[in-house]
Amino acid sequence: MKVIERVVPLIVFILAACQTTNVTVIESPSPSVTSTSTKVWTSTSTPSPEPTFTPSITPTPSLTPTETPRPSIAPTLPHADVQFIYHGDRNKPYVALTFDLCQKPELPSWFDKGIVDVLNEYEAPATFFMGGDWMRTHVDETLLLASNPNFELGNHSWSHPDLPGLRAEVITSEIVQTQNLLYKLTGRQSTLFRLPAGKYDDLTIGMIAWHGLYTIQWDVETGDPDPTIDAERMNWAVRTRVQNGSIIVMHANGRGWHTAEALPQMIEYLRGQGYTLVTVSQLLGLEPLPQH
């Protein structure tokens, strides 16, 4: 794993009271921008042709009476050095499938359960990066994902803004609000953060580390937010780009247009090539590898 350490003066200035900040950078492809084009549903589930929008402003969901209420504030994670990750160990045949659940409050998205159905059918581990506002309007779906031991849940900001240029307090709110709701709903606490559209600056990645999270980018882009990229094109992208340690980015918010359709062939190909599918934390050695 290629590791370049550098000091980020601005972050050091901000975080000086705590510790010196080192930045671990593993290659740096250009970040992509998630498409927000018009929906054409192609998942294996059976949504209506015109998906019903969940109102962007709805009452904050509460736990059902049968569940034990949890605190609204997640425990604080220890501050960490910056970990800026594009992939795992290139010498080990592990690959992580990741799915983003992006949602801006003014632009509600959906949930492609067909993806989960395929992952369950193949008993495939995966990491879902949850938007806070997405969780707010998709409580049942959040609980469904959290109930599956094969799935890891990460933080994908609250409102999916472009983080570069925002003030530290705003970045903190995007991170912490999402941590808190994930904890309140599921009892889980994420240690992974995916940048909205992969966009960052030094302050952003410094603040993510300050709150104890790793920044997780990707090295294989399927292009699934583009409705013109079909399942075969997605699988072509994976076949030509995947290697040991790869992190593959896709979308499960209904804007991964052909994702569920592409997944069976993708999983069969990867396993046929000798790769073991793991969560991002397993890929990075933060959690034990699956026994089988």
Q: Is 102 in the site for Zn ion (CB under 5 A)?
A: yes
What φ, ψ does residue 133 adopt, rounded to 5°?
A: -65, -30
- The DSSP output letter for 11 is H
Q: Which stretch binds Zn ion (CB under 5 A): 95-103, 138-146, 210-218, 263-271?
A: 95-103
With contacts defined by CB under 5 A, name the span among 45-53, 98-106, 145-153, 239-247 that binds Zn ion: 98-106
Nearer to Zn ion, 11 or 251 (CB): 251
Q: Total binding residues for Zn ion by CB under 5 A?
A: 2
- Mapped onto helix, strand or coil, the DSSP state of residue 83 is strand
Helices (H), the chain: 9-15, 113-121, 132-137, 139-146, 168-186, 202-210, 231-241, 259-272, 280-283
Within positions 220 to 249, which residues make up the interface with Zn ion, using CB under 5 A? none
Q: Which is nearer to Zn ion, 11 or 96 (CB)?
A: 96
Q: Residue with the closest Cβ to Zn ion?
A: 102
Stretch that binds Zn ion, among 51-59, 96-104, 170-178, 280-288 (CB under 5 A): 96-104
The DSSP secondary-structure symbol of 7 reads B
Terminal-to-terminal C-alpha distance of the chain: 25
Q: How far is the CA of 160 from the CAs of 68, 164, 165, in angstroms?
A: 30, 12, 14
Degrees to nearest 5, angle at CA 124 with 85 and 200: 20
Closest CA to 104 of 161, 155, 32, 59: 161
Q: Which is nearer to Zn ion, 210 or 218 (CB)?
A: 218
In the complex, minimum distance from the CB of residue 6 to Zn ion, in angstroms, rounded to a whole number = 27
Compare residues 100 and 152 and give the one whose CB is closer to Zn ion.
100
Select the residue interacting with Zn ion from 100, 152, 221, 226 (CB under 5 A): 100
Residues 6 or more apart from 134 whose CB is under 8 A from it? 101, 102, 103, 109, 156, 253
Binding part of the chain for Zn ion, among 11-19, 100-108, 145-153, 181-189 by CB under 5 A, reads 100-108
State the minimum distance, in angstroms, from the CB of residue 255 to Zn ion. Answer: 9
Q: Choose one: 53-61, 102-110, 213-221, 276-284; the region binding Zn ion (CB under 5 A).
A: 102-110
In the complex, least distance from residue 136 CB atom to Zn ion, rounded to whole angstroms = 15
Q: List residues binding Zn ion (CB under 5 A).
A: 100, 102
